[in-house]
Amino acid sequence: MMFIFIIIVIAAVYLLMDSKNSKSGNGNGSGSYNEGNSEARGIDVLNERFALGEIDEEEYLHKKRLLQNK
């Protein structure tokens, strides 16, 4: 169980770093941010925060409902 949690944390950190690099133009991305996909990006950030333990399940579910009802 601990091994799975470590893998999730590593994946979340990697995705976070990759998205920062692509937004700033430092990575292999174009450096532009797709505004049309903001809901999906918001949910990705929310998933990362939940995986890292920054928010609890109740707050996660509440914010996820808010993002999906935009």
What is the Cα–Cα distance from 19 to 65, expressed in whole angstroms?
A: 23
Domain assignment of residue 17, yes or no:
yes
> Is the residue at 29 inside a domain?
no
State the pLDDT at residue 5: 83
Mean pLDDT of the chain: 78
DSSP secondary structure string for all residues of 14-66:
HHHHHHHHHHHT-SSS-S---GGGHHHHHHHHHHHHHHTTSS-HHHHHHHHHH
Q: Is 20 inside any structural domain?
A: yes
Counting the structural domains of the chain, the total is: 1
Residue 13 is assigned to a structural domain of this protein = yes
pTM of the model: 0.47
Domain residue limits at 13: 2-24+37-68
In this prediction, residue 27 carries a pLDDT of: 44
30 found inside a domain: no
What confidence score (pLDDT) does residue 22 get? Answer: 64
Look up residue 36 and give its amino acid.
G
pLDDT in tens, 10-34: 888 888 877 766 655 444 444 445 5
Secondary structure letter of residue 69 according to DSSP? T
What was the pLDDT predicted at 62?
92
DSSP assignment letter at 70: -
